[in-house]
Amino acid sequence: MEEKAKIILDGKTFEFPIIVGTENEKAIDITNLRSETSYITLDNGFGNTGSCTSGITFLDGETGILRYRGIPIEQMAEKSTFVETSYLLIYGEFPQRQKLDEFAHSLKIHADLHPDMLKFFDGYPTTGHPMGLLSAMVCSLSGYYPELLNTEPTQEDIRTTAAELLSKVCTITAYTYKKSMGEPFVAPRRDFEYIPNFLHMMFSSPHQPYKMMEEVVSALETVLILHADHEQNCSTSTVRLVGSSWANLFASISAGVCALWGPLHGGANQQVVEMFEEIQKAGGDIQKFIDRAKDPKDSYRLMGFGHRVYKNFDPRSKIIKEKAHELFAKLGIHDPLLDIAVRLEEAVLKDDYFTQRKLYPNVDFYSGIIYRAIGIPTVMFPVMFAIGRMPGWIAHWKEMKENSKSKIGRPRQIYTGERVRDYIPMEQR
């Protein structure tokens, strides 16, 4: 017999279907709750609310499991590339060699920016945050590719738009960096693969090609793979919500970039390294910072700790920590901030405040250390997160678009304002 959830309201019993996912995750389907009972549910921060069914990423925060299309993140990080991971997330299956080559090629041929878009960089203040520029430019791509804006896009439209976004996000990022440094732009090269091409645009100069190091490419590959998707996080939910109004993929992802920017989400990697620098400036006294984070009267938080879903450990942080140590050992560099990170992590993991609240290092805790070692400035860390998350955003928008049952996202509310009252003329206020 089909299992049902029973809800008793005003003495009357209502039944709602139970939905079970492939990993035995259970949900009460309350689609008809309001029409049958006139009640709604209230769930601050959506901690208990499923906004959709999805076949892209599985995450179990209690046991620290993360899988892309069923593949454990540990295997993806060790064996895949970011381009292959992107294909898997967006199209659902591993590509055959020829398909992968075609996909990689499409990323190369779409990397150039329209010459008119280069003027954007002139108009943006050098002190402006790169996430603002990224969001504006991603949205503006819609103006340059009107042929891709069908409200019912074909598979070909989606393929092209995805390639535009995945490749142009690197070019926009590299040019933003060059502009901030007062250096000339370095055009993408079609004979370079995705990550080497990004590093080339970032760090080559007209007279001095960037010295490509396998260790750096591999570290960046891993970091981007780890960021590629994380099911219904704040930015991905934003992409889906905006896209649910049939807004185009460029507009939806531009909104996702803005959601990612916040310090509680993708902006955290920047804040983490700034926190390490502050600790360093304060003479390395980590306890002072821990005490501040524990003080209930102070809103200060230790950045890079805690996660809405992971309540045991974040599997990405484990991989990224190992990668950071490996990169530093291979490059023979020593960053005092890495020492601070290790000491802070050790102290936090022994502290009751953090263990009781299940606050463990998250993906942002070590990613910034790797970006720093590569030479990426702190202010650009959230942009690196955006490059990594791009395939996930695209995959979710595509999945939502292809689901004939998708509806416009429109939550309800419980109104707590004034009851009806009369307009008050100015002289009586």
Q: What residues are annotated to the active site?
A: 307, 364
- Select 248 or 362, whichever has its Cβ closest to ligand CMC: 362
- Give the footprint of ligand CMC on residues 41-70 (CB under 6 A): 45
> Does position 301 bind ligand CMC by CB under 6 A?
yes
> Does position 306 bind ligand CMC by CB under 6 A?
yes
> Does position 103 bind ligand CMC by CB under 6 A?
no
> Does position 308 bind ligand CMC by CB under 6 A?
yes
Calpha distance 184→178 (Å, rounded): 6
- Select 188 or 392, whichever has its Cβ closest to ligand CMC: 392
Which residue from 130, 243, 256, 304 is in contact with ligand CMC, where contact means CB under 6 A? 304
CB of 316 to ligand CMC, least distance (A): 9
> Does position 268 bind ligand CMC by CB under 6 A?
yes
Give the position of tokens 């996660």.
307
CB of 252 to ligand CMC, least distance (A): 18
- Select 189 or 301, whichever has its Cβ closest to ligand CMC: 301
> Does position 238 bind ligand CMC by CB under 6 A?
no
Calpha distance 27→44 (Å, rounded): 17
| Residues 233 and 262 sit within 8 Å (Cβ to Cβ) | no
Q: Which stretch binds ligand CMC (CB under 6 A): 86-94, 195-203, 210-218, 299-307?
A: 299-307
Calpha distance 149→122 (Å, rounded): 27
CA distances from 90 to 71, 84, 229, 400 (A): 14, 10, 10, 12
Q: Which stretch binds ligand CMC (CB under 6 A): 28-36, 296-304, 333-341, 416-424?
A: 296-304
- Select 164 or 364, whichever has its Cβ closest to ligand CMC: 364
Nearest to 45 by CA among 228, 230, 262, 232: 232
Calpha distance 143→120 (Å, rounded): 13
> Does position 167 bind ligand CMC by CB under 6 A?
no
**Which stretch of DSSP H or E encloses residue 7?**
strand 4-9
At residue 55, φ and ψ (nearest 5 deg) are: -110, 20
CB of 350 to ligand CMC, least distance (A): 15
- Give the footprint of ligand CMC on residues 354-413 (CB under 6 A): 357, 359, 362-364
- Select 307 or 321, whichever has its Cβ closest to ligand CMC: 307
Calpha distance 164→109 (Å, rounded): 9
Nearest to 106 by CA among 226, 194, 171, 198: 194
Q: Which stretch binds ligand CMC (CB under 6 A): 117-125, 206-214, 247-255, 302-310?
A: 302-310
The length of the chain is 429
Calpha distance 419→158 (Å, rounded): 47
CA distances from 384 to 159, 371, 379 (A): 22, 8, 10
At residue 20, φ and ψ (nearest 5 deg) are: -120, 130
CB of 315 to ligand CMC, least distance (A): 12
CB-nearest residue to ligand CMC:
306
> Does position 220 bind ligand CMC by CB under 6 A?
no
Calpha distance 373→398 (Å, rounded): 35
- Select 18 or 264, whichever has its Cβ closest to ligand CMC: 264
> Does position 113 bind ligand CMC by CB under 6 A?
no
CB of 320 to ligand CMC, least distance (A): 11
- Select 104 or 260, whichever has its Cβ closest to ligand CMC: 260
> Does position 302 bind ligand CMC by CB under 6 A?
yes
Calpha distance 303→90 (Å, rounded): 30
CB of 260 to ligand CMC, least distance (A): 8
Where are the alpha helices (H) located in 194-350, listed in sequence order? 194-203, 214-227, 234-243, 249-261, 268-281, 286-294, 315-331, 336-349
CB of 215 to ligand CMC, least distance (A): 25
Calpha distance 308→228 (Å, rounded): 18
Calpha distance 44→52 (Å, rounded): 17
Tell me, what DSSP letter sits at residue 305? B
Which residue from 103, 177, 261, 305 is in contact with ligand CMC, where contact means CB under 6 A? 305
Using CB under 6 A as the binding criterion, the count of chain residues that bind ligand CMC stands at 21
CB of 209 to ligand CMC, least distance (A): 34
Q: Which residues contact 356 (CB under 8 A, 6 or more apart)?
A: none
- Select 258 or 268, whichever has its Cβ closest to ligand CMC: 268
Task: Kindly list the residues in this chain that would bind ligand CMC in the complex (CB under 6 A).
Answer: 45, 230, 233, 264-266, 268, 293, 301-308, 357, 359, 362-364
